[in-house]
A and B are shown apart, each in its own frame.
Chain A
Amino acid sequence: MTDPQLVARAQEGDLPAFEELVKKYQREIYGLAYRLVLDAEEAKDLTQQAFMQAFVHIRGFRQQAQFRTWLFRIAINQCYNYLKNRKKFGDPVDCDEYVLVGEDSPEEELVAQEDHRRLYAALERLPAKQRAVITLKLEQGLSYEEISKVLGGTAGAARVNYCQALKTLKKYMQNEDDYEVAVRPYPKMVTRISRR
């Protein structure tokens, strides 16, 4: 059954039809929320809240856009509200959470882990909107037109936002080591003293 048919049945109050939509999109929504809030439990809660909001307001959905785009927009708004309430864009991320068991040699795995650690640390420093643009473009594969429908604005603005986000991310990844030294100078100094 296609999305418009499922949506039409859900608008009539058919809960199994809506749950079918949930099963179809829950991984994408969870991945987006996880990338934005960088916390597995919060991402799960935010995904459930997004589906709840979608179900409550599904009768107001006029099917002028795709259901998937509408769902992304709800999820991103939930994440924005969460980040706004937390007053900062992400707690310190434990990068060990991201490490998956690979089939490479131990040296290659160590290098890959270091690359991923730098990537996630740089992603954490990005503003939430730029993180959302990168996630929607590179991980969810949305076009600029669809990104503009999710985040608001025009397609050109989404493209400019993506370019800016990618350049900032590259700069952060290049300067990640310098940033760590600048942010945490005190523990290194203590370590140096204790070695003496």
Chain B
Amino acid sequence: MKWRCALIQRWLPAYPDGDLPSFWQAVVRSHLEKCPACREELAGLEAVVSSIKAAPRHEPDQAFWDNFNRELHLKLAQSVPEPPPARGFRIPYYLLGAPALAGLLLWLAFGYLNPERPGMPPQPQLSQEQKALEQTPAIPRLAAPAPAPEKSEAVVMVSQNGQDLHGDDDLDMDGDLDSTLAGMTETEREAFLKKVRQHEKDGSCTRESLIVSWA
């Protein structure tokens, strides 16, 4: 079979009724005039169509239809028509994911990443002088390094003076006995250890609380 015949024979069943587009109708007609194989194929198809049209149909008698209508009437009388479906604008369920994702992204963009979101504490309002200072270029300043805090000396001075300290930062509150003893003189250490042993015997307080109270 030539390729042209294969192409034409795809359209042959619709040719006799004139259902083809006009271009293809003309092409098939001109091809059929000079191709006996396609004419034979068309004759075979027309024979099939005529046999289908001539085939006897199954036509039930009137008693069948009477029985049919009686049964159907009983069924229809028991059924109720459903109300018409809502015709309003509805998004199909398979498209609901896109708006949900867009809402989530908007919330992330404007709600979570925004520093002025409701959950954050309000930033202090700067006065005009501070704003002016922030706008001026920063001048590099030379500053002396801050002296390192000497905690051991603070403990010693407190013990020598016998006065309470006001700031908690100066006290060695961690209860480490060795570090506390390291900063003491011999006399202070002996007095301290003596007091510790005495209290441990009494059971009145623990070693850690004693360190704190000593300080």
- Across the interface, do A48 and B68 meet the contact criterion of CB distance under 8 Å? yes
Residues of A within 8 A of B13 (CB): 162-163, 166-167
Residue of B nearest to A99 (CB): B56
Question: Is B77 an interface position by the 8 A CB rule?
Answer: yes
Q: Does B2 contact A (CB under 8 A)?
A: no
**Contact between A15 and B76, CB atoms less than 8 A apart:** yes
B71 interface residue, CB < 8 Å from A?
A: yes
In the bound complex, residues from chain A placing their C-beta under 8 Å from that of B77 are 15
Q: Which of B49-84 contact A (CB under 8 A)?
A: 49, 51-53, 55-60, 64-65, 68-69, 71-73, 75-77, 79-84
List B1-51 residues whose CB lies under 8 Å from chain A.
9-14, 19, 44-45, 48-49, 51
**Residues 24-80 of A at the B interface (beta carbon under 8 Å):** 26-27, 30-31, 34, 40, 43-44, 47-48, 51-52, 55-60
Interface SS of B by simple majority? helix
What count of chain B residues pass the 8 Å CB interface test? Answer: 37
Cβ of A83 < 8 Å from any Cβ of B? no
**Chain B's nearest CB lies how many Å from the CB of A95?**
11
Q: Which residues of A contact B52 (CB under 8 A)?
A: 119, 134, 138-139, 169
Q: Are A13 and B57 in contact, CB atoms less than 8 angstroms apart? A: no
| A30 & B72 in contact (Cβ 8 Å cutoff) | no
* Interface pair A138/B49, CB less than 8 Å apart: yes
Q: Which residues of B contact A51 (CB under 8 A)?
A: 72, 76
* Residues in A neighbouring B71, C-beta threshold 8 A: 48
Interface flag for A115 (CB, 8 Å)? yes
Contact B45 A44 (CB under 8 A): no
A53 to B, closest residue via Cβ = B79
Instruction: Please determine whether B53 and A138 come into contact, CB atoms closer than 8 angstroms.
Output: yes
Residue B118 lies at the interface, judged by CB distance under 8 Å to chain A: no
A15 to B51, alpha carbons, bound, how many Å? 40
13 extra interchain contacts, Cβ-Cβ under 8 A, other than A22-B72, A163-B13?
A19-B76, A23-B69, A26-B65, A26-B69, A48-B71, A56-B79, A57-B81, A57-B82, A59-B82, A98-B55, A138-B53, A163-B10, A163-B14
List residues of B whose CB falls within 8 A of some A CB.
9-14, 19, 44-45, 48-49, 51-53, 55-60, 64-65, 68-69, 71-73, 75-77, 79-85
* A residues lining the B interface (CB < 8 Å): 11, 13, 15, 18-19, 22-23, 26-27, 30-31, 34, 40, 43-44, 47-48, 51-52, 55-60, 97-100, 115-116, 119-120, 134, 138-139, 144, 159, 162-163, 166-167, 169-170, 173-174
